[in-house]
Amino acid sequence: MSETAASAAAALLDRIQAPEGGGREIPDAATRDVIGRAPVHSVSDLDAAIARVKAAQPSWEALGHEKRSALLVAAADAIDAHAEALAYLLSREQGKPLNGPNARFELGACSAWLRTNAATVLDPQVLVDDETLHAELVYKAAGVVGAIGPWNWPLMITIWQIGPSLRMGNTVVAKPSEYTPLSVLALLAVMNDVLPADVLIGVSGDREVGARLASHPDIAKVMFTGSTATGRRIIESSAGNLARLTLELGGNDAGIVLPGTDVAAIAEDLFWGAFINTGQTCAALKRLYVHDSVYDEVVDALAGIAASVPIGNGLDENNVLGPLQNRAQFDIVSRLVEEAKSRGARVVTGGEAAPELGELFYRPTIIADIDNDAALVQEEQFGPALPVIRYSDVDEAFELANAVEVGLGASVWSSDPDAAREAATRMESGTVWINSHGGLHPMVPFGGVKSSGYGLEFGVEGLKSVAVSQVVSGPGRKAQA
């Protein structure tokens, strides 16, 4: 990372951080040095922001899809122009390295999703068109959208929320996680260089601000990505205003490796399905069920990759794994691994902190010979520790994989395409990947089932989710004639 990018990141920080002596200190995830000071907005500040975006919404919607799409493309261009500075700030604040499927990858996804939102067509749907009736289903802006983002992919997921919302003519108040406010506010500042005033406003505050955002009477739609527990609180908060909700909540994604699978062909994809973003991904592979016939080979292959992958400060261009983002998550991973050890599970590699690298670093960990009822299997670890569970009966593997309350993503792994397709239909999750895990495409809908939330994002379905539908009925061809 060049000095130029660091200087550009500092300039972005100067634009958005609180004045000296004010706000809240935000640490570097790797070094724990202070990066900057995040503004601490109040509920009154939020109310004022909502009033501003509400006033701006009618004229934004009136621009029409073509002009709004052109402005989204301009916003994507602005992100590309500031990508290195934003990646630098993101790497420091969140902890993810610049390279690999990490910070630069995330900035590329921000641009790609915005451009796809701009290019996606959502035409009226003709329902009936006969001699007596012509009826269409049309989609209009919902109004003001409240976007509440997470700390693991703070920029990309913010774009997932605000991109389609703006495209459909809504205005947006975006609240970043308290852990990663600076990079999100910087992203919004870059976008606001090209967007009309008050179309998009960021508010950096605590849980009280988040609760007010969900319950505010002028909020028509809430989009939230985060834990299931917080999602339930948002549902409760939104009961009074009946805001529409899209909730992408916790996952404890299972993968099943079927008998006879070519392990060498899948090992690298298996590893990154679990360890992308140091395991801090809602739809990462969290539990791996492997058939007896290939179990030892899979464990050895994963352990070999885990032991060799470069880990350290994200600003080092050589590293591809970083620290846990915060102490609370570090403690969860440590607790779950220690509980697994106490039950007699086998630590194949890792299984401990890496204090020589920094306070919140944890070695990439593969745990074998672990019982399915261990906490590391049943709870979402959200970190760099993968339990590998042995099975001999395929039906039992599916039963175990599905026996949790969440259902965000899942994967099946096989050298037999037909067997893999059949197996995929048996998984209880919103998405099932075959011979990969966690890959997303801006035109392919994504969302969870069970306690992983509801509502779809991406593509045409994602545009519909931030709109309100209206049926327009009129005379048919006979009456028109």
- Catalytic residue set: 248
334: Cβ contacts below 8 Å, ≥ 6 apart: 353, 362
Rounded CA-CA distance 369/288 in Å is: 12
Backbone angles phi, psi at 262, to 5 degrees: -75, 105
Q: Classify residue 240 by burial, with Cβ atoms within 10 Å: 0-12, 13-18, 19+.
A: exposed
Rounded CA-CA distance 222/213 in Å is: 8
Could you say which DSSP state residue 457 is in?
A: B
Round to the nearest angstrom and report the end-to-end CA distance of the chain: 68
3-class SS of residue 138: strand
Size (the chain), residues: 481
Angstrom CA distances, 385 to 97, 110, 366, 379, 434, stand at 18, 28, 6, 12, 22
Taking the alpha carbons of 473, 476, 479, 481 in that order, is the dihedral positive or negative?
Answer: positive
Rounded CA-CA distance 378/386 in Å is: 12
Q: Please identify which residue in the block is written with the tokens 């995330």.
A: 106
Q: Please identify which residue in the block is written with the tokens 């009736």.
A: 133
CA-based nearest residue to 294, from 253, 255, 264: 264
16: Cβ contacts below 8 Å, ≥ 6 apart: 39, 182, 185, 186, 188, 189
**Cβ atoms 248, 448 nearer than 8 A:** yes
